[in-house]
Amino acid sequence: MSDATHSGFPKRRFKVSRRMLPYVLSLPALLVCIGILIPFVTAVLYSLQRYRLSQPWARKWNWGENYWNFLSDDSFWNTLKVSMTYAFTTVGIELLLGLGIALLLQKRTKFNNFVSIMLLMPLMTAPALAALMWKLMTNPGFGILSYFAGLLGFEDFNWASDPQTAMLTVVIVDVWVYTPFIMILLLAGLRSLPQQPFEAAALDGVPRWFVFYRITLPMLTPFLLTAVLFRMIESIQQFDIIYAMTQGGPGDALTVFQVEAYLNFFQSTNVGRSAALMMILWAITYFLSNIFIKNWLRLRERQRGEA
């Protein structure tokens, strides 16, 4: 029966010539690139214009003026400082905590596996929701953390409402959300390390701290760099936690790049300045990514050489 069917409708095969095949195979990647490049080029062009939606008649090319103005703009330097402080502080703390927890959970036991899964819960929470949750917990009137702070003697601890403690508060939220990401990445790295060097060190009676600094840490460095790279890129682009908690305030205490660019576009409709801010953020991200990737490649080459 199937033969009869096939004989009725001969199968047509779509053939791609060998010459065209590489182009066809790379077409999806090309389409994705176009989807990224068009907004990027548009942003570059906008950043070189005086372009406010509320003053369409004044739109003109001002070339580098948006960037040039940043040099004498205190708010820009504050944004740079706040963004860098936030990124380096959060990633630093998350790295230390993530590594510590990963080391504690390194041994494959049922308990450790259960705990590692439980610790992933914050990562499943949308950062904006986590921020709102923390906002409630730190409410001076009824927040449970404010209550505990009061018990510890911090009666007027105002968390994100006080410029002195606003950065600390959002860093805590970020650490709560993203430490599990670093932890799980490093845990996977730790469990994949070859066991021979550790067994040899154990036979020779090498102290544990020496094993950690001389064997574990160097072998784990590619994983550390990967974790830091991912987190650094994300942290320097932070928006949701900060915006949901304070909209960049109090004052200019938390005006990171994304918050500033968002307000410039959606509230002030200053497209030119907003685009220029995003281009600076892109340049910083590109620069930091390059450093991490170069070091990661160098390490990999060295490890291959040693092998």
Partner 1 sequence: MYDKENKLIDSFTAGKISRRELLRGLGAMGLSTSVAAVLVNASATRALAQNGFNWKAHEGTTVRLLLNQHPYTDALIANLENFKALTGMNVEYDVFPEDVYFDKVTATLSSGSSEYDAFMTGAYMTWTYGPAGWVEDLNEWIMDDTKTNPDYNWEDVLEGVRKSCAWSGVPGAAIGSDDAKQWCIPMAYEQNNLTYNKRIFDANGLSVPTNIDELLDTAAAAKAVMGGGYGIGVRGSRSWATIHPGFLSGYANFGQTDLTVGSDGMLSAAMNTAVSKEYHAKWVKMIQDSGAPDWSTHTWYQVGTDVGAGKSAMMFDADILGYFMNGGDNAEAGNLAFSGFAANPEASAATPNIWIWSMSMSRFSQNKDATWYFMQWVTGPEHDLFGAREMDLVNPARSSVWADEMFRNKLSASYPGYVEMHDASAPGASIKFTPQPLFFDLTTEWAEAMQKMVANEIPVDEGLDMLAESVNRQLAEAGLH
Closest contact distance (angstroms) between CB of 244 and partner 1 is 10
Q: Kindly list the distances between the CA atom of residue 27 and the CA atoms of 14, 33, 64, 298, in Å, as whole numbers in the listed order.
A: 17, 10, 35, 32
CB 225 within 8 A of CB 237: no
Closer CB to partner 1, 158 or 216, in the complex: 158
Instruction: Compute the least distance from the CB of residue 81 to partner 1, in Å.
Output: 15
Q: Which is nearer to partner 1, 268 or 290 (CB)?
A: 268
Q: Which is nearer to partner 1, 134 or 181 (CB)?
A: 134
Q: How far is the CB of 122 from partner 1 (least distance, A)?
A: 22
Of 122 and 249, the one with the shorter C-beta distance to partner 1 is: 249
Rounded to the nearest whole angstrom, what is the least distance from the CB of residue 262 to partner 1 in the complex?
9
Considering the complex, what minimum distance in angstroms separates the CB of residue 73 from partner 1?
Answer: 9
* Helix (H) or strand (E) segment spanning residue 49: strand 49-50
Write down the least CB distance from residue 53 to partner 1, Å.
5
Burial class (CB in 10 A: 0-12, 13-18, 19+), 34: exposed
Q: Between residues 139 and 226, which has the closer beta carbon with respect to partner 1?
A: 139
Written in H, E and C, the secondary structure of 95-139 is HHHHHHHHHHCCCCCHHHHHHHHHCCHHHHCCHHHHHHHHHHHCC
Given the rule CB under 8 A, which residues bind partner 1?
Answer: 52-56, 58, 69, 135, 139-141, 156, 158-164, 245-252, 263, 266-270
Nearer to partner 1, 139 or 285 (CB): 139
Give CA–CA dist 96/134, Å, rounded: 22
Rg (CA), the chain: 26
**Residue tagged 């599990």 (tokens):** 180
**What is the C-alpha to C-alpha distance for residues 303 and 306, in angstroms, rounded to an integer?**
5
Quote the CA–CA distance of 190 and 211 in Å, as a whole number.
Answer: 13
